[in-house]
Amino acid sequence: MALPLYMLAQKSNFPFTGGFSVRVTFGEFWVSACGYIARETGVRKAFLPARYLQSTIDSLGLEMLKNPGVRERREILEDLWKGIVKIPSERLGRNRGSDISIVLAVGNPEGVHLCSSGVSGLWGQSELDEKWHVLLPQRHPMFQTDGIVEDFPGALCIRIAPKVIIATAKPLFPMLPSVEELHSRLGVTEL
């Protein structure tokens, strides 16, 4: 089953503006993605870029997972990123994708590989103790990537997958709120 990924963005009257989420599973592999794009352009102008990005990741993920020649998580992740880079920039809103906040993850029973752009923090909830743990230190190079850049931003390998991953979108301060506030801001009752 695909790892649940969530992203916190700045509080607003319309918290899901520009939001997208993807979970694709095929065999023992899965792809998850979440994030925001064109958030500052408003609900109407952010809708199409977010849906286009979501459908592209969904179809690319399924295509790659079905490809019998691809069996490495990192390879699938890099190919997903290359597919995102190929999206015509005019389809990604007024800022042409420079305002994206995204986390992509590929996993199987042996672990998870993930990459991100436009993210200020990453936490994982442990299956063992249900506690939230920082996945990357604050000054990690992965937090330096912004927008859809041509070069692959690098991958984090996690051998024991957390139960859930939560990211904070830039420019949000990288701090995980209380569980009650998480539920409220993510629009869920259970993580």
Amino acid 71: pLDDT: 72
Please check the confidence at residue 70 and state whether its pLDDT lies above 70: no
Please check the confidence at residue 66 and state whether its pLDDT lies above 80: yes
Q: Which domain holds residue 43?
A: 5-185
- Token duo for residue 5: 């990924």
Does residue 151 form part of some domain? yes
Does residue 191 form part of some domain? no
Mean pLDDT to the nearest integer, 82-87:
95
Mean pLDDT to the nearest integer, 103-108:
95
Does residue 32 form part of some domain? yes
Does residue 190 form part of some domain? no
C-alpha–C-alpha distance, residues 6 and 33, integer Å = 9
Amino acid 128: pLDDT: 86
Does residue 146 form part of some domain? yes
Does residue 78 form part of some domain? yes
Does residue 52 form part of some domain? yes
**Number of domains present in the structure of the chain:** 1
C-alpha–C-alpha distance, residues 117 and 45, integer Å = 21
Name the DSSP class of 101. Answer: E
Does residue 113 form part of some domain? yes
pTM over the 0.85 mark: yes
Assign residue 104 the CATH number of its domain.
3.60.40
